[in-house]
Structure 1
Amino acid sequence: WLEFAEAWGGKYPAIVRLWENAWAEFTPFLAFDAEIRRVICSTNAIESVNARIRRAVRARGHFPNETAALKCIYLAVMSLDPTGQGRKRWVIRWKGALNAFDVAFDGRLTAGRK
């Protein structure tokens, strides 16, 4: 921490102050397994899905009822994976993280499946 402050404190004092103020909230994040940290930090996929949904809704304009809006959103989400191969990739990508979550949180993820 002090190395960071020495290296960047003169050029970016506001960032150093931000780190000092948020350090207590940030350090518990470092205690998680690397797989869990990777999942927490990867918001690109979520933002991509949100952008696709916004684009579909904006292109449609208005909806006569809630069912029509939900149908539009459903079709936008289903078009993200038209071949159906996404689930296989999802399982491979998340398997390590799900195992790490299960270990870190004492089986709370699998408790409902028994």
Structure 2
Amino acid sequence: MMSSILEGVLDEELDKELGYSKYDYRNKKTDNSRNGHSKKTMHTSYGDMDVSIPRDRNGEYEPQLIKKYQNTVTQDMEEKSFLCMQKE
């Protein structure tokens, strides 16, 4: 469940970076676009989990939630994810 929340936030970050949402091609004002996902294994206090990190064609997207080369989820991220799960 926590990986779903993290993936959703990462997708929103990419939307903001590119300036358009995933299926909103009419408002696309850039030559950059989505280019799939890469898998990353994150270590948490609950165990390991796989997260799909979105990519862009030009390689300009730098994720802010989970930085490059980061492989652990901070306690703060775990607590926020837990609170989101309780609201659903």
User: TM (normalized to structure 1)?
Assistant: 0.28
State TM-score, norm by structure 2. Answer: 0.35
The structure number with the bigger radius of gyration is 1
Greater share of residues in helix: 1
Task: Say which structure, 1 or 2, has more relative contact order (CA 8 Å, 6+ apart).
Answer: 2
| Structure whose residues are more often strand by fraction | 2
